[in-house]
């Protein structure tokens, strides 16, 4: 089947849209300003003698331009978004209402502390929930994202080793089933990284991990539930071995939404764990922000937590801003301006209070149930990467496509034509041709059934052996077809030049 070409390049009501600079009508403006009064020139040499290159457009042109661009975004508010490891779930609108209350939205970080005691109380309330839920001794609230929380945890571990005369510990063990940010954080923190293999079950090979423990090991970082969507069952055993070897146990808790309300992190022997508030406790976070990665700490690491920290003096809240003083006597310092991602704290507290402990517990249960529903029903045609039930994510490999000529990428592209955002592909790396799906707890059975029908249909079509060409042509219905993704990543065109200066955008890329 070939798509009809149109004179306009538009497809139905999906409109082509150029860059705003290409829409330029020189001299056109959306506003009509009075002629500037004659004033004495005071800019001297600084006066700009050239046009500044703003495009000329009318107000309706500007409105249509940005509205059309916004409609090209696919989002959790427009449809199912099963991207693995990202927790793209519905974000309750109540949270937004709370975050916009003037008392939260209109305060400034430079205001005197005495005028923002309510904000400090909110940060402390969020901290109290996180400590209650995890059973951990303390929490550093300022990290701005999950990866930043990892850095916070490792900085605490590094400080603790230094304080205990253990600075020779320069290596961190990271299993293959860990999230990619874990080894990156360890390297950024100045550590050497040693990989621990996964076993056939998709979990850490405990014997291999134990064999790597020695006096140079500073810490072990384990993602749990891991990126294969599986619970690391041997954490208690691992924690004991790690502690016996004089090292610390860091747990990546970005997938906390699968276990919240169901186990106390402290009982696993964890020394530090970040929590992605934007994932588990719902803040819209597509496109890279905003987020918050509070890091819960064991009693041994708590003294080294970063500033600022909220403290309570009698009945009154205060903020300890400086390392080396008071509660922050042994703090390693500051890692973020101001007090962290305050708006995300407000949303998290709003979510926690609306859900209650029982609601949070049900959410993690429903997230796991939904993933297992996908795993069970899709197993009819797809091949699960691991035996047994999963946590909040279902992982398939590409054995079901063997001999069809169709690849994981082709399936993902064909899903776009079905009106579904593709799941994560080719990750985790330990699974061949992986499809990693995280449905989250906020999707209904009807939505999941629609997704399942689309995917089963595509799997059957691929196996029919007659549809390879169709798959290679997908997506047919999207505004753009297959892009040269390697070239887009390696040679992005980031700058537009007016055609008069040469060959326009093409020239800028060279
Ligand atoms: C999302 C995620 C991270 C990183 O969190 P950011 O907020 O994106 O920095 C780390 N580990 C795991 C397992 C994740 O899912």
Structure tokens at 264: 């106390």
Say if residue 250 is in the same domain as residue 311.
yes
Tell me: do 336 and 367 sit in the same domain.
no
Residue appearing with tokens 């999230």:
179
- pLDDT bucket at 498, cuts 50 / 70 / 90: confident
Residue owning the nearest CA to atom 4 of ligand 1? 146
* CATH at residue 109: 3.40.640.10
Task: Give the pLDDT confidence score for residue 177 in this predicted structure.
Answer: 81
Q: Using 50, 70 and 90 to split pLDDT, how confident is the model at 505?
A: very low
Note whether 384 and 332 are same-domain residues.
no
Helix (H, G, I), strand (E, B) or coil at 373: helix
Cα of 369 to ligand 1 centre, how many Å? 22
* Domain count of the fold of the chain: 2
Residue 462 domain flag:
yes
**Token pair 């999707």: residue:** 443
Element (H, E) at 219: strand 217-223
Closest CA to 121 of 107, 133, 110, 136: 107
Alpha-carbon separation of residue 161 from 24, 158, 166, 171, 388 (angstroms): 60, 5, 5, 12, 40
Token pair of 126, please? 């969020």
Res. 501: pLDDT tops 60: no
Looking at the domain assignment, is residue 220 inside a domain?
Answer: yes
Radius of gyration of the chain (CA): 26
Helices (H), 5-116: 59-71, 93-99, 102-105
pLDDT at residue 509 is higher than 60: no
How would residue 500 be classed by pLDDT, with cut points 50, 70 and 90? low
Q: What is the pLDDT of residues 301-344, one digit of tens each?
A: 999 999 999 999 999 999 999 999 999 999 999 999 999 999 99
Range list of H helices, 311-444? 342-378, 408-417
pLDDT in tens, 44-53: 888 887 878 8
pLDDT digits (tens, 9 = 90+) for 403-440: 999 999 999 999 999 999 999 999 998 899 999 999 99
Q: Ligand 1 in contact with 392 (CB < 6 A)?
A: no
- Note the pLDDT of residue 444: 97
Rounded to the nearest angstrom, the distance between the alpha carbon of 95 and the centre of ligand 1 is: 22
Residue 454 lies in a domain: yes
- Interatomic CA distance for residues 248 and 239, integer angstroms: 8
The answer, yes or no, to whether any atom of ligand 1 lies below 6 A from the CB of 223, is yes
Q: Does any domain span residue 29?
A: no
| Same domain as 482, residue 369 | yes
Residues 413 and 337 in one domain: no
Domain coverage including residue 457: 358-490
pLDDT digit string, tens, across residues 84-139:
888 999 999 999 999 999 999 999 989 999 999 999 999 999 999 999 999 999 99
Same domain for 266 and 309, yes or no, is yes
Q: What is the mean pLDDT of residues 160-171?
A: 98
Cβ of 280 closer than 6 Å to ligand 1, yes or no, is: no
- The DSSP H or E segment spanning 451 is helix 445-463
Instruction: Please check whether residues 345 and 242 belong to one and the same domain.
Output: yes
Task: Based on the fold, state whether residues 287 and 388 are members of the same structural domain.
Answer: no
Whether residues 148 and 262 share a domain: the answer is yes
Q: Is the CB of 291 under 6 A from ligand 1?
A: yes
User: Is position 376 within any domain?
Assistant: yes
Shared domain for 232 and 381, answered yes or no, is no
Q: For residue 336, tell me if it sits in a domain.
A: yes
Q: Is the pLDDT of residue 4 over 80?
A: no
CA distance 501 to 495: 13
Q: What is the mean pLDDT of residues 348-354?
A: 98
Q: How far is the centre of ligand 1, averaged over its atoms, from the C-alpha of 197 (Å)? A: 21
Domain of residue 366, CATH code: 3.90.1150.10
- Residue 395, both tokens: 């992982």
Task: Supply the DSSP symbol for 503.
Answer: S
User: Is 408 a pocket residue for ligand 1 (Cβ < 6 Å)?
Assistant: no
Confidence of residue 485 (pLDDT cuts 50, 70, 90): confident
Burial 482-498 (b: 16+ CB within 10 A, else e): eeeeeeeeeeeeeeebe
pLDDT of residue 2: 66
Q: What does DSSP assign to residue 138? A: E
**How far, in Å, from the CA of 254 to the mean position of ligand 1?**
5
Assess if residue 7 is contained within a domain: no
Q: Pick the range with the lowest mean pLDDT from 27-41, 145-159, 352-366, 496-510.
A: 496-510
Do 154 and 271 fall into the same domain? yes
Q: 304, 321, 351: which is the final residue of a domain? A: 351
Q: What does the pLDDT read at residue 288?
A: 66
449-476 tens-digit pLDDT:
999 999 999 999 999 999 999 999 999 9
Q: What is the pLDDT of residue 74?
A: 87
Q: How far is the CA of 59 from the centre of ligand 1 (A)?
A: 40
Q: Residue 340's pLDDT is what?
A: 93
Pocket lining: 181 vs ligand 1, CB cutoff 6 Å: yes
Mutating to test ligand 1, I would choose from 149, 154, 179, 278 the residue with most ligand atoms within 8 A of its C-beta, which is 179
Considering the domain architecture, whether residues 246 and 372 belong to the same structural domain is answered as no
Residue 147 Cβ inside 6 Å of ligand 1? The answer reads yes
Q: What is the pLDDT of residues 61-74, one digit of tens each?
A: 999 999 999 888 88
Query: From the CA of 94, how far away is ligand 1's center (Å)?
Result: 25
Q: What is the pLDDT of residue 507?
A: 43
Given a contact cutoff of 8 angstroms between Cβ atoms, the answer to whether 457 and 378 are in contact is: no
Site of tokens 């701005």: 144
* 379 within some domain: yes
pLDDT above 70 coverage of the chain, percent:
97
């Amino acid at each position: 089947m070939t798509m009809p070409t149109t004179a306009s390049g538009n497809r139905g009501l999906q409109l082509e849209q150029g860059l705003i600079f290409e829409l330029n009508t020189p001299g056109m403006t959306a506003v009509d300003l009075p002629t500037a009064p004659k004033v004495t020139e005071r800019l001297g040499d600084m006066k700009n003698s050239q046009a500044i290159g703003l495009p000329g457009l009318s107000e309706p042109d500007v409105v249509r331009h940005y509205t059309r661009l916004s409609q090209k975004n696919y989002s959790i508010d427009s449809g199912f978004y099963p991207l693995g490891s990202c927790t793209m779930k519905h974000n309750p609108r109540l949270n937004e209402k709370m975050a916009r209350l003037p008392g939260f939205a209109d305060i400034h970080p430079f205001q005197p502390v005495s005028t923002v005691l309510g904000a400090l109380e909110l940060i402390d309330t969020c901290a109290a929930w996180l400590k209650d839920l995890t059973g951990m001794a303390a929490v550093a609230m300022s990290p701005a994202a999950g990866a930043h929380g990892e850095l916070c945890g490792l900085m605490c571990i590094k400080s603790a080793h230094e304080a205990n005369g253990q600075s020779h510990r320069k290596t961190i063990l990271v299993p293959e089933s860990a999230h990619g940010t874990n080894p990156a954080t360890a390297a950024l923190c100045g550590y050497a990284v040693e990989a621990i293999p996964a076993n056939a079950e998709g979990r850490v090979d405990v014997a291999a991990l134990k064999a790597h423990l020695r006096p140079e090991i500073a810490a072990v970082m384990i993602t749990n539930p891991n990126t294969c969507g599986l619970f690391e069952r041997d954490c208690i055993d691992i924690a004991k071995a790690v502690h016996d070897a004089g090292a610390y146990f860091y747990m990546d808790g970005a997938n906390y939404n699968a276990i919240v309300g169901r186990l106390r992190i402290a009982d696993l022997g964890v020394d530090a764990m970040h929590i992605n508030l934007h994932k588990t406790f719902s803040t819209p976070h597509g496109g890279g922000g905003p987020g918050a990665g509070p890091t819960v700490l064991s009693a041994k690491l708590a003294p080294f937590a970063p500033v600022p920290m909220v403290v309570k003096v009698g009945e009154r809240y205060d903020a300890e801003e400086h390392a080396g003083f008071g509660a922050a006597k042994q703090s390693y310092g500051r890692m973020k301006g101001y007090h962290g991602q305050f708006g995300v704290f407000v949303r998290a507290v709003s979510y926690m209070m609306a859900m209650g402990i029982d609601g949070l517990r049900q959410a993690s249960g429903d997230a796991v149930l939904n993933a297992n529903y996908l795993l069970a029903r899709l197993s009819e045609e797809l091949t699960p990467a691991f035996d047994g039930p999963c946590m909040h994510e279902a992982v398939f490999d590409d054995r079901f496509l063997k001999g069809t000529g169709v690849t994981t990428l082709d399936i993902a592209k064909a899903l776009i034509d079905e009106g579904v955002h593709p799941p994560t592909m080719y990750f985790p790396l330990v699974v061949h041709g992986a499809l990693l799906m995280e449905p989250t707890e906020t999707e209904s059975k009807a939505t999941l059934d629609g997704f399942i029908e689309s995917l089963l249909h595509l799997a059957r079509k691929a196996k029919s052996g007659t549809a390879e060409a169709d798959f290679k042509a997908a997506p047919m219905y999207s505004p753009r077809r297959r892009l040269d993704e390697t070239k887009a990543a390696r040679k992005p065109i980031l700058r537009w030049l007016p055609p008069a200066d040469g060959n326009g955008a093409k020239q800028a890329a060279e």
